[in-house]
Amino acid sequence: MSGSEQNQHPLSIYYSVWILLFVVSGFSYAVDYFQLQGTLRWTLILVFMFVKAYFITAIFMHMTWERKALQLAILLPPVFVVIFIGLMAIESDYTFLTRVEFFTESDFVPVYHNSGAEH
């Protein structure tokens, strides 16, 4: 093999993914056009976003043709960041409600149950 020959991916792959990204973006805009509301809206937006991110990362950033170790080294840290953000979001309600309770005027009155004791 001479030095001028290179191993290149066929351009048809890039064109196909480019068209697919336009189609998925069209679906994403359709969610807003049809004014979907609630959980369905956000689920569809997130699904389309992840599909587009997958194809951009896999094809245009050439992750498909990398070794598995490099793929995991690049893709796993963001997964853990998302997990930790989710855990913080779950805990945020408890922290917020605790701050409201102890740092503001609250109408919450604790109930003490004394077994058998009369006032």
* Whether the Cβ atoms of residue 6 and residue 34 lie closer than 8 Å to each other: no
Q: Report which residue type is found at 116.
A: G
CA dist 119 and 117 (Å) reads 7
pLDDT at 118: 57
Q: Where are the domains positioned within the chain?
A: 1-65, 67-104
pLDDT at 89: 86
pLDDT at 98: 79
pLDDT at 17: 94
Low-confidence ranges of the chain (pLDDT < 50): 1
pLDDT at 99: 76
